[in-house]
Amino acid sequence: MNLVFESVLARSPNPYVILDASLVIQWANAAYLSATESRWDEIKQRGIFEAFPSEGESYRQLKSSFDRVLETGEADEIARIPYNIPNAQGGFDTHIWSATHTPFLDENGDVEYILQHTVRITGLEQSGSERDAASVARRAEAVEERYRGASKELDRFRSLLEQAPGFVAVLSGRDHRFVMANAAYRQLVGQRKLVGRTVPEALPEVVDQGFIQLLDDVLDKNEPYFGKKERILLNSGKDGELEARFLEFIYQPIHGGDDFEGILVQGHDVTEEVAFEEHQRILINELNHRVKNTLAVVQGLAKQSFRSEPGSTGIDAFSNRLAALASAHNLLTERSWEAADLESIVTGSLAATAGSDSSRYSLTGPKVVLAPQTAVTLSMVVHELCTNALKYGALSEPAGFVEITWRMQPAETEGTLLIFEWSEHDGPVVVEPQTGGFGSRLVKRGLGSPDSRTTLEYRASGLYCRIEGKV
């Protein structure tokens, strides 16, 4: 059976009118002309609000309904709306209507036409018993009131999301079709048309980058996906060129009524932050390089200065201390001079002085992160202890062993106290020196802070050093 559906609609007893995306009247059937008491030559190719002027709440209701259809690409209904229709006497008659607006999309997913189906319920309210008419009117008003309330809540929610500083979008179904996207998201993708389109249609460049597979996995596993500074190439709208962006985001699976299945996309653009971190890394590496060059110059000057003292070991001690300082500097550079792990500091100093044989010492303690200045100071202290153990203490004999422990505990007043202990075993008998050199003075400074305290005991089993201070 072949039917010309324009003829079907033309003969329908129900009023129909077709508008384009600019709300200009393109077609209307006889029932619509009769219901609105108008002629086709009077309303064709005219805007709906030009052909049928309105203001106040009636205008806002109808305009809001059209806007929702154009924005979402989905049908919208108005349960009850009063609207003025011109009459034969040149005035206006107020009629009560119920309207349904159904969109027709083009091949790109944009709204091309809107079919308006109206039902005039004025006659229904004015006919039959007063009780039936009042009942119909009350039901229609109740439905409309609930609809208005829900619509206002939805509009407020959309307004909040629209103004959110981070990008937000909602995708529906297994084809990942955009239901909404806020201003930040639209700006991110170059102000492209999104609502009503699938992700591959709207953002074809992300398909080969694996993001569609990520969306599929979120729905299949029903688990969120967290993106951490992920690099993505996006068409920003400038000459169609792809631009690298770095994003922090989450794909959150969502489920709603009417078997709705979709994904909430939420995040923010951290491209500038990543660029700043890279710039900072380059500057720190350059600074580290320049400091190393400076230390090399200092070392060269020291060698020239110590030439006047034949057989002196001072130059060796000085060079070793410079090497320890450079090692601590390298460790902090790797961490952008923010903080350093205590165990890494101790391990680095031991390896630089005592070698890589970890069987000669043990390390026991919790994870502790030290500020840069404290890290450098402790590194120099451990270097001096290692040097002393190699020359005179436990590490000078094959059976010697060093036990290193640390712990944290609350300070007596406020803050946290670090207690660091160095215990030597099975080495030669140690004797307290009569005079103290630079190395012993450095060890006694402890962590370098005013509240730091150092205890040195020359036990029969070997040297014991305890350092405590706030960190």
What's the pLDDT band for 19 if we cut at 50, 70, 90? very high
C-alpha span between 469 and 415 (Å, rounded):
10
Top-ranked range on mean pLDDT: pick from 142-151, 215-224, 288-297, 429-438: 215-224
With a cut of 60, say whether residue 125 has pLDDT above it.
no
C-alpha span between 54 and 272 (Å, rounded):
49
At 357, the amino acid letter reads D
Tokens of 231: 């690099």
Q: Is 98 left (phi over 0), alpha (psi -120 to 50) or beta?
A: beta
Return phi, psi of residue 400, to 5°. -70, 155
With a cut of 50, say whether residue 124 has pLDDT above it.
no
pLDDT score, position 429? 85
Identify the H or E element spanning 315.
helix 314-334
CB within 8 A of 197, min separation 6: which ones?
108, 109, 177, 178
Share of the chain above pLDDT 90, in %: 27
Please state the rounded mean pLDDT for residues 425-439: 78
Structural contact between residues 250 and 224, judged by C-beta atoms closer than 8 angstroms: yes
Per residue in 179-235, pLDDT (tens digit) is: 888 988 988 888 888 888 999 999 999 999 999 999 999 999 999 999 999 999 998
Give Dmax over CA atoms of the chain in angstroms: 125
Please state the rounded mean pLDDT for residues 243-268: 87
| DSSP assignment string, 225-293 | EEEEEEEEEEE-SSTT-EEEEEEEEEEEEEEETTTEEEEEEEEEE-HHHHHHHHHHHHHHHHHHHHHHH
pTM across the whole model: 0.41
C-alpha span between 84 and 97 (Å, rounded):
10
pLDDT score, position 22? 93
C-alpha span between 108 and 379 (Å, rounded):
65
**Span between the terminal Cα atoms of the chain, in Å:** 87
Q: Within a 10 A sphere around the Cβ of 406, how many other Cβ atoms? A: 20
At 10, the amino acid letter reads A
At 337, the amino acid letter reads W
What's the pLDDT band for 126 if we cut at 50, 70, 90? very low
With a cut of 70, say whether residue 115 has pLDDT above it.
yes
- Cα dihedral 237/242/246/252 (nearest 10): 70
Tokens of 130: 């007063």
C-alpha span between 376 and 313 (Å, rounded):
24
Return phi, psi of residue 305, to 5°. -70, -35
With a cut of 90, say whether residue 442 has pLDDT above it.
no
Tokens of 145: 């009131």
- Per DSSP, the chain holds a count of helices (H) and strands (E) of 15, 17
**pLDDT averaged over every residue in the chain:** 79
Tokens of 157: 């929610």
Per residue in 365-401, pLDDT (tens digit) is: 999 888 877 877 888 788 888 888 888 889 888 889 9
At 170, the amino acid letter reads V
What's the pLDDT band for 1 if we cut at 50, 70, 90? very low
Q: Which of 80, 81, 14 is nearest to 52 (CA)?
A: 81
Q: Which of 362, 443, 364, 366 is nearest to 403 (CA)?
A: 362
Tokens of 353: 């002085």
C-alpha span between 73 and 103 (Å, rounded):
6
pLDDT score, position 127? 46
Q: Which residue bears the tokens 């010492």?
A: 361
Alpha helices in 394-455 (DSSP H): 438-444
Q: Treating both helix axes as pointing N-terminal to C-terminal, what angle do 342-354 and 314-334 enclose, rounded to 10 degrees?
A: 150
pLDDT score, position 348? 78
Structural contact between residues 110 and 136, judged by C-beta atoms closer than 8 angstroms: no
Q: Which residue bears the tokens 């089993």?
A: 461
Please state the rounded mean pLDDT for residues 286-305: 58
Sign of CA dihedral 445, 448, 451, 455: negative
